[in-house]
Amino acid sequence: MERTRRGYHHGDLPAAALAEVDRIVQERGVAAVSLREVARRVGVSNAAPSHHFGDKAGLLTAYATQGFELLAAHLSEASGREDLLSLGQAYVAFATERPGHFAVMFRPELLHGDDPHLLAAGAGAFGALAAAIASVRGMQPHDDVVQFAAAGAWSLVHGFATLWLAGNFAAPVTTMPEADAVRRSIEELVATILEATT
């Protein structure tokens, strides 16, 4: 890093640009991201970022791809224990630790949805979830039962993370760390469903 201190060439503009996108999204929201603002912060000319990312959607697509890769790594760590609750908590923890990425990853209208890197990274993250569920059920990941269960699990933790970050919950949910809140929410939801179906 920092190889050419002040040269015509930045050294690693793509990485620096993604880091600035992250800061801008966290500080002022995704609407505040512009190619010019990124260029300004990195200290290059207006047009420099386009050189690497093509256009604005390309920049955000690279950022979202990075997010899916980070998420997959995050989930893989947690899934070693084959413990579904830990996996769900890891998903929510990712969202709260990297709110910038999380806010962009699921906004297809801002991205190049057909970008192969983006698709691969997204599939990788979902794959970690499906693999853990397949293991619990003793089935293959591509089995329909596993796919539906994975969709349900994803929905649950994704919805929780979204509503938590948007500030839609109130006390008592918001009075504890999000890992505890999501655990209790799942427990009470399951208890309620069981009570309703007996």
Q: Which residues bind DNA (CB under 7 A)?
A: 4, 7-11, 13, 32-37, 39, 44-48, 50-52, 55-57
Among 40, 97, 148, 177, contact with a second copy (rule: CB under 8 A): 148
* Dihedral sign for Cα atoms in the order 153, 158, 164, 169: negative
Ramachandran category for residue 140: left, alpha or beta (phi over 0 → left; psi -120 to 50 → alpha)? beta
Q: Side-chain half-sphere of 137: how many Cα atoms within 13 Å? A: 18
When asked if residue 113 is in the footprint of a second copy (CB under 8 A), the reply is yes
User: Please, which residue, 50 or 147, has the CB nearer to a second copy?
Assistant: 147
Q: How far is the CB of 107 from DNA (least distance, A)?
A: 15
**Partner that binds at residue 109, options DNA, a second copy, none, CB closer than 5 to 8 Å by kind:** a second copy
- The DSSP H or E segment spanning 94 is helix 84-97
Tokens of 197: 């179906």
The item of DNA, a second copy, none sharing an interface with residue 55, based on CB under 5 to 8 Å by kind, is DNA
